[in-house]
Each structure stands twice: as C-alpha cells, then as structure tokens.
Amino acid sequence: MSPDPFERYTHRVQRVVALAGDRARRPRREEIDTEHLLLAVVDAGDGTAAMALAALGVPLDDLRGRVPAHAGAGQGVPGKSVPLSAAASAVLDRARREADAMGHHYVGTDHLLLSLTAQPGSVAARVLAGIGVTGDHLRPEVARLLDAHPRARRTRDEPTYEQVIGGRRFAVPPAIGAHHRQAERLRDLLHRHGVTVDHPETDQHETAARRSPPAQEHLGT
C-alpha cells in the first residue's frame, strides 16, 4: 500500500481545502483552482500564512478584493463534487516539497502559500505578485514567524490508534496513529464538502520524509 498523500497536512490546511471547495461551488465552478485556495487561506484568517501576509503589510480584505474578477461564475452543477484542477493539485504537491525543503514533517498554510506564489501562470501567483508577495519576500518572513512560534510538542499520553487487519485488532504507536487520524479527517472533510482529490504520485523523497519522525502541529500552521 502506498503512503497516504494526506497524512502530513495540518488541520488548518484541511480546512483551507474544504473552504476552497465552498468557494468554487458558489459561482458554480467546475474545479477548485489556485484562486480558490488563495481565497480560502484569507477566509481562514489564521495560521502562519495569514500572519506572514499581515507582517508583510498586506491587508487581507484588499487581497480578497483582488481575486473575484478572476473567479467568475462557471457551468458547474449545484451540489456536485468539485475536483481539484491540475494547477491546484500541483500547488498541494509543491507544498509538501516546500515542507521537505524546510525540514518540516508537517505541511502547513505557510508551505501552501509559498507554493501558491510559485505556481507558474496561475491566477493566485499573479494576484500575489501584483501586491508584491513573492516567494523571495515571503520565505524570510515565514522563517521568522516559525522561529518565534516553535512547534507544539505532542504529549506522551496521546491515545493509541487501533487498526483492524484480517479480523484482528492491532494497537498502532501514537506517532503512526496521528498520521492515520489526520489523513482520515481530511478525507472525511473533503467528502463532506464535495471535494474529490486524486492521489498524486509519491516520489522517493516524500517516501523518505514519511519515514521520518511524526508530523508536528505548529502553533498557527
């Protein structure tokens, strides 16, 4: 069985993806695109990404106002599941690589925002560049915020995760159980919001990262 592609995303990123699905359905768009992810980061209003934008002097309301012209109505069917566009899928995949490059075992809103700045030709990247937010400007601010808010430590009494295999129940160590629970929460959340996601291919670098210590929750990720 291949590693679960969702296991490293924090709760805030899961919420952002769900909000992006809501954003895409409102104008009946047929796909969740990069502008919906960007709007969802702003809508969430917390996390390292929002803090970094504020620190760079970007008013979130101003940023929100720059996107709707690009996110007009589409021909989607109300209530129908909304898949991620190729560009949005690439953003989520690149966010994991951003996390790897920073030595993080979790994928937070900071990695997602950095990825949005780097998606070639995307609406989100153009909007961000238009207000002076590029990866070169954002990355040092993210690093400063992460230094100021160190990762929360997991408690030792975290409950174990149980898995049934072949009719038998096995206790899974807390670190591994945390991955499973987080992946399950994301799948359930996306399903409730009608978001469909194809599992991206996992390269050797990601596989090695998943064998590293467990994903840590960040204070504001």
According to the model, what pLDDT value does residue 46 have? 77
What rounded mean pLDDT belongs to the chain? Answer: 72
Encoding tokens for residue 111?
A: 């990695």
Tell me if residue 196 falls in helix, strand or coil: strand
pLDDT > 90 fraction of the chain, expressed in percent and rounded: 34
With both helix axes pointing from N to C terminus, report the angle between 34-44 and 86-101 in degrees, rounded to the nearest 10: 60
Q: Residue 212's closest CA among 104, 61, 113, 67?
A: 104
Cα–Cα distance between 84 and 121 in angstroms, integer? 17
Single pTM value for the model: 0.67
Is 18 a residue whose pLDDT tops 70? yes
- All domains in the chain, ordered by first residue: 11-208 (1.10.1780.10)
Q: What is the dihedral of CA 135, 52, 19, 202, to 10 degrees?
A: 40
Cα–Cα distance between 117 and 69 in angstroms, integer? 19
- Buried b or exposed e, range 7-44, using 16+ CB within 10 angstroms: bbbbebbbbbbbbbbbbbbeeebebbbbbbbbbbbbbb
According to the model, what pLDDT value does residue 213 have? 43
